[in-house]
């Protein structure tokens, strides 16, 4: 099974159309050369991938890919047993 970081990198690479190697946890969102629309679309894709809702207030605080990974690692319903919620 892929790690949260690997899954985030895969989704971001596809959405941002950049090499997954550039998407490290230390990479700043603004340094990846993406638009705010790209980020919004990626957040929606990550919500689908991880079966989680990312509130706007949380998404606005994401400065690095690591911030996204940390949020998803603690809010990921897809890895929890059936019937267990956040």
pLDDT in tens, 5-64: 999 999 999 999 999 889 999 999 889 988 889 989 999 999 999 999 999 999 999 999
pTM of the shown model = 0.83
Q: b vs e for 32-61, b when ≥16 Cβ sit within 10 Å of the residue's Cβ?
A: bebeeebbeebbeebeebbebebeeeebee
43 lies in some domain: yes
84 lies in some domain: no
Q: How many domains does the chain have?
A: 1
34 lies in some domain: yes
Residues 6 or more apart from 50 whose CB is under 8 A from it?
A: 4, 7, 72, 75, 76, 77, 78
Domain around 68: 4-79
CATH code of the domain in which 43 resides: 1.10.1200.10
């Amino acid at each position: 099974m892929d790690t949260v970081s690997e899954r985030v990198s895969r989704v971001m690479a596809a959405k941002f159309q950049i090499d997954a190697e550039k998407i490290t946890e230390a990479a700043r969102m603004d340094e990846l050369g993406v638009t705010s629309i790209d980020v919004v679309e990626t957040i929606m894709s990550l919500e689908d991938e991880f079966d989680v809702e990312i509130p706007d207030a949380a998404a606005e605080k994401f400065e690095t890919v690591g911030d996204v990974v940390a949020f998803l690692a603690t809010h990921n319903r897809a890895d929890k047993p059936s019937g267990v919620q956040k």
